[in-house]
Amino acid sequence: MTAEKKNKYDFLNYLLGQGDAMVCIDARREDVDVPKLHKNNPSLNLIFNLNFRRTLEVLPEGIHATLAFNGKPHQCVIPFEAIWAIYDPSMKQGQVWEEDFPKDIDPLEFSATGGQAPTPELKKKTSAKKNLPNPDRPKRDRSHLRVIK
């Protein structure tokens, strides 16, 4: 096992020992087996937990798990080479392997889209112009808000 695989393997097992682990994968790789609907996703995020009712095996070569997609089970195979980030979904800790980050995604755009692969629609929503004040837009009057006890 290479040092990188061992690092991913050990970190994933550590997070699973704590609870949930979110695994970010490039599902476009040929060696990844996920439903066709997700096969073109360079940033597929999957949550794993040792308490899943279905099969979950973390092996030295990758993850083998039966996951539900839209209520239908699918036997997924995820090699460690396809994993580019693993983190605790509660955002306490995580790790990104830059060398495995999909080359066709700009990391800055990726973080601006909240972990979604940037699409033309998302690029428009997260453009730098969005953060600039719009002089044509009137300020919102929030005086109609009230505290409810």
Per-residue pLDDT of the chain (149 residues; tens, 9 = 90+): 667 667 999 999 999 999 999 999 999 999 999 999 999 999 999 999 998 888 899 999 999 999 999 989 999 999 999 999 999 988 778 999 988 989 887 666 555 444 544 444 434 443 444 444 555 555 555 455 555 55
| Residue 122 to residues 26, 46, 115, 129, Cα–Cα distance (Å) | 19, 21, 11, 13
Measured CA to CA, the distance from residue 64 to residue 52 in angstroms comes to 13
Query: Who contacts 139 (Cβ-Cβ below 8 Å, separation ≥6)?
Result: none
Task: Give the chain's domains with CATH numbers.
Answer: 3-101 (2.30.30.220)
Upper half-sphere CA count for residue 20 (Cβ side, 13 Å): 9
pTM of the model: 0.69
pLDDT of residue 56: 93
SS3 assignment, position 130: helix
